[in-house]
Amino acid sequence: MKINLQSLHFKASDHLKDFIDEKVGKLAHFDDKIISADVTLFTDDGNNTDNKFCEIRLSVPGYDDFVKKNGESYEAATSDAVDTLQTILRRKKDRA
């Protein structure tokens, strides 16, 4: 699975890139047909403390899964998004 990381209006640190690669890479255990994961990180300009956003789009033949989560840090938002995608992938596997 290929992971494409895009950070809007800031440069992601190596620590953040490694964290995202580790977390998102675990999704391959749930579905071996995943082609790629497009991860986009950005900040909302509002006064809310949960203004760090993570969007993940999984490219799978026939359909794409998309999740958008926010948190106090990019790590928290990414973890939340990955947990949600794991739930989605488990449900699809159970239905098949």
The per-residue pLDDT of the chain, averaged, comes to: 92
Q: Specify the CATH number for the domain of residue 20.
A: 3.30.160.100
Determine the structural domain holding residue 80 and report its residue range: 2-95
Q: Which residues of the chain have pLDDT under 70?
A: 96
Half-sphere exposure of 45 toward its Cβ, with a 13 Å CA cutoff? 2
| Element at 71 (helix H, strand E) | strand 63-71
Number of folded domains that form the chain: 1
pLDDT of residue 80: 97
**Global confidence as pTM:** 0.91
